[in-house]
């Protein structure tokens, strides 16, 4: 049971330990890349059903980004879109027998959370400049700086732990129900897994977007004021 | 359950690679295609708008032309009506003139016929009158009347104006001896008076050869060449019958 719940080391190359979650994650990367390449290989002005669905998904994600950061869509959208595509497939791949969701590994979710943490600062500094970006930690009052710093750390940790905890718990519950009740009984739990996987992917990506937007908020507000 | 740092680091790399791959092979191509489609749609919308404007312009031109045609049609109808009215007036005038001409012709013919009829009636009246007078004079004619007419002739010749005398002298130039005809034999006194008065008129002594013709009824006729002196009932009746006496 432990092997079905916790990540397993597949290969050890010196100090490097390749876990099954990492292998699955890399495989998902390859699959997403090849799928994206295949879908966009023959794009046409008059799209078919598949192209329409892909374009609809891309536009939906882009519009979600545009609602929060309308002036930096092209810069931020690929990162948020990558999170959504990856988390969606990573959360759902656990439904395939023999495969495990990479997001039940705290190392994976922590890595993604760290990337979100870094991207907030990256986009904030790139868009506002270093001084302007650091100044927002002193807003509205300088004595709030410690709270800002704690907030940065805790929300990143919460981001990682939330995704990890939800996916781990779902797998665990499904496994326990399967062991206790037998065949077909865990199907409703698996249905819940689907919903939870979609919700968690959406929440993670949306929170990342909100954090990034918060990092460049001052710049956005100023820009909107100029626009008005 | 702790963090496996190899997985942690490699996942960061893996995800960054994934973001780059999706951006390169999914996001950009899809965005590019959407942009192309948007431009295509905008171009089609622009073409449609252009076509709509052109259609509006064509429609406007068509409506203007229709209005112009309508105006031209009304003007043409008005011209045609005026021409027809003018033609009708000309025809009416021409017809009126023709009718007036016909009326004048008919009036002239009628006047001619009336004159002809009047002349005919007068001629008949004259003929009847002449016949009546002839029958009456034939009954009244006698030798006494004969002598009265001869005396009347002598008296008239004596009172003849100079111009008439000149005509008689001109008419008798080159003629031979004067011939005379009487209804009854003349007396010597009457012959003498006639010779005397004619010699006075002609300003030359003349001799008259008289013959008797009872058709004269009463009176005499003296032939002076192109001038004839008539003083008898037969010639007077003839004059009366042919209206010359009037």
The reported pTM is: 0.60
Residue of A13, A18, A35, A43 best to disrupt the B interface, most CBs of B under 10 A: A43
Q: Count CB pairs under 8 A between chains A and B.
A: 122
In this prediction, residue A109 carries a pLDDT of 93
For chain A, percent of residues with pLDDT exceeding 70: 93
Q: Which residues pair with B232 in a beta bridge?
A: B219
Cβ neighbours of residue A66 under 8 Å, at least 6 residues apart?
Answer: A73
Q: Please count the other Cβ atoms lying within 10 Å of the Cβ belonging to residue B82.
A: 10
Q: Which residues of A touch B31 (CB under 8 A)?
A: 58, 62
For chain A, percent of residues with pLDDT exceeding 90: 43
With cut-offs at 50, 70 and 90, classify the pLDDT of residue A220. low
DSSP B57-109: HHHHHHHHHHHHHHHHHHHHHHHHHHHHHHHHHHHHHHHHHHHHHHHHHHHHH
Is A107 in contact with B11 (Cβ distance < 8 A)? yes
Is B7 in contact with A21 (Cβ distance < 8 A)? yes
pLDDT digits (tens, 9 = 90+) for B175-222: 567 888 998 998 888 888 888 888 888 888 888 888 999 888 889 998
- The answer to whether residue B81 scores a pLDDT higher than 90 is yes
Q: Give the integer Cα–Cα distance in Å for B219 and B226.
A: 20
Q: Give the integer Cα–Cα distance in Å for A192 and A213.
A: 31
- The answer to whether residue B240 scores a pLDDT higher than 80 is no
Task: Calculate the alpha carbon distances from A2 to A97, A105, B17, B223 in Å.
Answer: 16, 13, 31, 191
Q: Which residues pair with B179 in a beta bridge?
A: B209, B223
Interchain CB contact of B36 with A (< 8 Å): yes
**Nearest-by-Cβ selection for A37 from B4, B18, B25:** B25
Could you tell me if A77 and A137 are in contact, meaning their C-beta atoms sit under 8 angstroms apart?
no
- The answer to whether residue A228 scores a pLDDT higher than 60 is no
Better-scored residue on pLDDT, A203 or B175: A203
Is A29 in contact with B33 (Cβ distance < 8 A)? no
Domain-wise residue ranges, chain A: 2-227
First to last CA, chain A: 59
Is B3 in contact with A19 (Cβ distance < 8 A)? no
In this prediction, residue A224 carries a pLDDT of 57
Is A45 in contact with B36 (Cβ distance < 8 A)? yes
Provide the sign of the torsion angle of the four alpha carbons A4, A7, A11, A12, taken in this order. negative
Interchain CB contact of A19 with B (< 8 Å): yes
> Residue A139 in 3-state DSSP?
coil
In this prediction, residue B246 carries a pLDDT of 39
Interchain CB contact of B47 with A (< 8 Å): no
**3-state percent helix, strand, coil for chain B, nearest multiple of 5:** 75, 10, 15
What chain B residue is nearest to A165 in terms of C-alpha separation? B1
Better-scored residue on pLDDT, B246 or A139: A139
At residue A10's C-alpha, the angle toward residues A6 and A11, to 5°, is 140
- The answer to whether residue A130 scores a pLDDT higher than 50 is yes
Domain-wise residue ranges, chain B: 1-98, 142-241
pLDDT digits (tens, 9 = 90+) for A74-123: 899 999 999 999 999 999 998 888 888 899 889 999 999 999 999 999 99
Helices (H) and strands (E) in chain A, counts: 9, 2
pLDDT digits (tens, 9 = 90+) for B93-141: 999 999 998 888 888 888 888 888 888 888 788 778 777 877 887 788 8
Q: What is the mean pLDDT of chain B?
A: 87
Interchain CB contact of A39 with B (< 8 Å): yes
pLDDT digits (tens, 9 = 90+) for A38-57: 988 888 888 889 899 999 99
For chain B, percent of residues with pLDDT exceeding 90: 38
Could you tell me if A109 and A219 are in contact, meaning their C-beta atoms sit under 8 angstroms apart?
no
């Amino acid at each position: 049971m432990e092997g079905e719940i916790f990540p397993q080391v597949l290969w050890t190359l010196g100090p490097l330990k390749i876990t099954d979650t990492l292998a699955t994650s890399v495989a998902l990367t390859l699959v997403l890349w090849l799928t994206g390449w295949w879908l966009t290989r023959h794009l046409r002005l008059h799209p078919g059903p598949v192209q329409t669905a892909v374009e609809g998904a891309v536009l939906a994600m882009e519009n979600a980004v545009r609602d929060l950061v309308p002036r930096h869509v092209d810069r931020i959208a690929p990162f948020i879109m990558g999170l959504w595509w990856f988390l969606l497939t990573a959360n759902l791949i656990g439904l395939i027998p023999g495969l495990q969701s990479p997001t039940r590994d705290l190392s994976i979710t922590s890595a993604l959370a760290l990337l979100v943490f870094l991207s907030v600062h990256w986009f904030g500094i790139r868009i506002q400049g270093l001084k302007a970006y650091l100044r927002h930690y002193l807003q509205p009052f300088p004595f709030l700086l410690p709270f800002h710093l704690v907030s940065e750390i805790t929300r990143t940790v919460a981001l990682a732990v939330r995704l990890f905890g939800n996916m781990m718990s779902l797998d665990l519950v499904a496994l326990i129900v399967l062991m206790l009740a037998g065949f077909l009984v865990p199907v409703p739990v698996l249905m819940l897994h689907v919903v939870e996987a979609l919700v968690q992917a959406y929440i993670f990506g949306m929170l990342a977007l909100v954090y990034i937007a918060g990092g460049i908020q001052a710049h956005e507000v100023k820009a909107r004021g100029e626009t008005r | 359950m702790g963090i496996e740092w190899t997985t942690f680091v490699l996942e960061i790399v893996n995800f960054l690679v994934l973001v780059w791959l999706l951006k390169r092979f999914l996001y950009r191509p899809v965005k590019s295609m959407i942009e192309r489609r948007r431009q295509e749609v905008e171009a089609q919308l622009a073409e449609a708008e252009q076509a709509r404007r052109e259609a509006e312009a064509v429609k406007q031109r068509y409506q203007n032309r229709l209005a112009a045609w309508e105006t031209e049609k009304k003007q043409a109808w008005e011209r045609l009506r005026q021409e027809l009215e003018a033609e009708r007036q000309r025809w009416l005038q021409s017809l009126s003139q023709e009718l007036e001409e016909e009326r004048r012709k008919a009036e002239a013919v009628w006047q001619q016929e009336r004159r002809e009829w009047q002349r005919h009636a007068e001629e008949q009246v004259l003929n009847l009158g002449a016949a009546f007078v002839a029958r009456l004079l034939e009954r009244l004619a006698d030798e006494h009347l004969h002598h009265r007419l001869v005396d009347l002739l002598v008296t008239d010749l004596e009172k003849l104006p100079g111009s008439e005398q000149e005509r008689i002298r001109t008419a008798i130039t080159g003629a031979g001896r004067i011939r005379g005809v009487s209804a009854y034999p003349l007396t010597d006194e009457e012959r003498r008076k006639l010779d005397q008065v004619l010699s006075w008129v002609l300003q030359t002594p003349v001799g008259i050869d008289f013959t008797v013709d009872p058709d004269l009824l009463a009176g005499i006729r003296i032939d002076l060449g192109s001038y004839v002196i008539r003083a008898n009932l037969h010639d007077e009746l003839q004059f009366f019958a042919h209206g010359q006496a009037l």
